[in-house]
Amino acid sequence: MKSDEPASAGSDAAAAKRPAAPSPQTELIIDTDVHHSLAAKEDLYPFLPSHSRERLAEHGLPRLGNVYYQNGGYQGIRADCLKSPDEDSAAARSSFSLFQEKLLGACGVNVAILNGELTAAFVTLADADYSADLCRAFNDWTVANWLSKDDRFRCALTVPMHQPEAAVREIERLGGHPGVVGIYVICGSPRLYGQRCFDRVYAACVEHGLVVALHFSGEGAGMNPPPTAAGFPSYYAETYLLRPQFYQAHLSSFLFEGTFEKFPSLRVVFLESGFAWVPAFRWRADTAWKALRSQTPWVKRLPSEYIDAHVRFSTQPMEEPASAQALGEVLEWMHGANSLMFASDFPHWDFDAPATVAQCFPAAMRRQVLSGNALQTYPKLHGLARA
């Protein structure tokens, strides 16, 4: 794929202004976690039925959960993405040309998978129909304003996972779009995602060649249980440290409910989960299975083997152990050469650039991390591998 070429004439101007990409530009770079958002509630109006449009107009966009009222950077994003120091971050979060310039251009990202950061606000609403309407409108807005303008952008659909039948409808409605490569699911949930009520969602994902991309957010929001066994943390730094347990809970559920036995081609992507916890989890899961196999006899293999076959992890935020040697051991223990995929988290403040992240990995792993693992994991990106 000539992915450096914009897909439409409309983006030629932005392409012309794009600064020269730094090395390693010879490598294909797939960014598995990019967060786009709305500039304003009005963006969704063309895509909503009138009753939901009136409701949105009157009450405004729902907020992310209270765990995330505070964030790093400036309102959660890179301050260097703002046009002026006091500008509200919504303009940058929703700026198509900014994403082209600072991510695709400056960082040489060839494929950017958009995961809408307002997902948590939409899918934690108890009102099933309004929630589904907002998800649908957001996806349509994404297709019209991002995917259709530059085919370097792909997206994972925002789906109302808390009502699986509505999530399936949205997958069936838009899952066939060539730019839709997954569903975007937040860790905050009334139920653990391996439970059988979600099987229909995974069946739809497999049918449409979509991965399940899991990302923290929404813990403790709306109908969701608190983010820890002892309630709510006070500060954002705590939520940062808590993230691995969100993913561990869902991964345990996937493994022992037999999700990967039910759906042998399903792929689950853990975005922004960190990854140094993965070796210890693998060991503990294997220990638990050996001891308790008879309670879940449909789990046929070591849990770590299912993780190898079905679960991938994003690089951002990069783990920063005290020694490079320690990172090498973690990579070996988690089979990182086959399981880690680059993510920038653009435009968020804890962004990682591909050129500098690549340097953290052994040279032999870099291509796999920057693109190879993503090409193999996302069925709808398989075609890029041949180009």
Partner 1 sequence: MASPALEPFPVCRTAELPPGSRRIAELRGISIGVFNLAGQYFALRNRCPHRSAPLCEGRLMGLVKADQAYAYTTEREGEILRCPWHGWEFDIRTGRSVALPETIRSKCYQTSVERSEPEGRVDTYPVSQREDMVVVWLPKPASTERARDRPGDP
Binding site for partner 1 (CB under 8 A): 196, 257-258, 261-262, 289-298, 302
**Cβ 33 vs Cβ 272: under 8 Å:** yes
Nearer Cβ to partner 1 (106/302): 302
- Least separation in angstroms between CB 282 and partner 1: 15
- Beta carbon of residue 336, minimum distance to partner 1 (angstroms, whole number): 24
Q: Least distance to partner 1 from the beta carbon of 302, Å?
A: 7
CB closer to partner 1 out of 50 and 294: 294
| Phi and psi, residue 161, nearest 5° | -65, -25
Residue 225 Cβ vs partner 1, minimum distance, rounded to whole Å: 24
Residue 196 φ/ψ, nearest 5 degrees:
-65, -20
By the 8 A CB rule, do 180 and 156 touch?
A: yes
Q: Which is nearer to partner 1, 290 or 382 (CB)?
A: 290
Nearer to partner 1, 303 or 336 (CB): 303
To partner 1, the closest distance from the beta carbon of 250 in angstroms equals 17
Give the nearer residue to partner 1 in terms of CB position, either 129 or 199.
199
In angstroms, the CA 387 to CA 385 distance is: 6
